[in-house]
Structure 1
């Protein structure tokens, strides 16, 4: 299925039904009085977060969503029927903003979260509503109120604990395939990954975290080189970034240190907050380096980068050095969750809300 993380839609709520002017007319009842009912409420449009949906592809082609109008009132004290609401199911992590003003309306961060996008118009009043002791034959009525209409921009930012960052062919897809059940496309040419992939990493019983793999970033991405910055938004909700560096590039003229510096520079151009996020350095493909040279090469790279943070050496293909890295990641994520807990129902079955406490009459 094609991965779509942006869409623009038009939503329109239904108008309220008009009220009715009617009088009771029956044999032997000369003064039946008013019996015109009120109009029905127009349908509203709601957004609902659904963890079973992964992309916004449903809204790439179906861009117009209209609720029905409420029914008008009728005689014989009959009120118009209200129109049913429309529910738009969207992936967890969707941001909904006004396309004209740019104002952020809501973020869908929990499974089952509901948000009102546009409200349906209320129904108009029939002449039964205006009956009083002094106005026994009212002929007034009101039309239904119009429903709201908006043009909305939908933007999906995946919810993951760890994000993978690096050049094309650094081994990000091989890494996520080695530590989770995700099966991204893996090949020996750059830009194999064309859309984000998510994988759940099980470190132990009841110990897990989610990893997001995005397409590789290259120098000049801010000017549109490669796939540009269009997928970096998916790293903004992560708690940790793993900067994966190819320690043994095929081309001997490629300098991994310069590539790593270029990635950091592009990250800073895109979003300083994302650049300031906790980032670890992971050297990959060490199985292609002679064992006696591995430690020396990694130390040389770290010295040239002037890196002061955590450093890990792994081989995703050979499954070497993965377990210490995964244990450290889980410990970091668990500590972050304790300090800044976020609602996360991806692995928890929603429970029914507790009944309200009884009060004395």
Structure 2
């Protein structure tokens, strides 16, 4: 039977970030195998995301992970360059703008206080300030807006994932296209994984970075992981609208839009009672016609003439307990590490989570950023660590 020191299940942004940080760690000399079921990455969450990073979260650890992610992306050539070739992930540092009507202002202000305490470069704007800064915005029903002034924006998500992967391979990590169907246990330890073709691979540590496949993988090891796959649709549209200085705007309704090339992309999460677990990739076109178009046209009147040119569907791996990642080992299986349930913010946290996973493998705990509150303890106790700012 083949053996590796670490087997990572899932080779998109999280799995490849973990592989890179392990291979780059000066105190790790072991072997790493990344098992990814589809090397095209066509349907992974990384490739189908809105590809953005923000510091405006309500959970301090999420803020800090994003702050590290921004710095990592700014210095990406220092980290992920190979043979003098630095990757370019086209980071557009244009900010996020969260809008609130009167009922939502208290939440916006509470989040703002947390963010400012952590050094986030963010401004709380009143209605008149919003109109002065963004004259194309309809502000009549708004009470306030929170604008990220630096560190936030959007990037090439696929490019970031490929850069992690390329660097990891250059550092000696093995990648293999294969589907993992089970984690093998021996008491309180994982002893390896079983592949769809029946072959088995032994290892000292297993990392579950399987995205929407994470729950099934956990179940194979006898662990109930509260993560479900929820479909999210993204629409690309053109418009005669000229929106100078347009950030990524999160409307008070939950709808979002941002510039993309010669047009814009937009989306919105369905109401909770219309958001079942889902694994198909069929675009819900009525979502644009019946919800997004009238919502965005009311916020930006020039969007009345919007025309959809393209649309795609992807999936969030949603932690149904509190919309925060479940990170680290389950107490029943001490060498099976989880990094699941990102609920839409996995890409931007991939540098910090990859680093954290490498620290858990090579040491006794977190050394750079304490992420212990994201561990299994709160899940098993039923004590949610709820993230309010989920887009």
Fold shared per TM-score above 0.5:
no
Which one has the largest radius of gyration?
A: 1
Greater fraction helix: 2
Q: TM-score, normalised by structure 2?
A: 0.22
Q: Structure 1 length as normaliser, TM-score?
A: 0.24
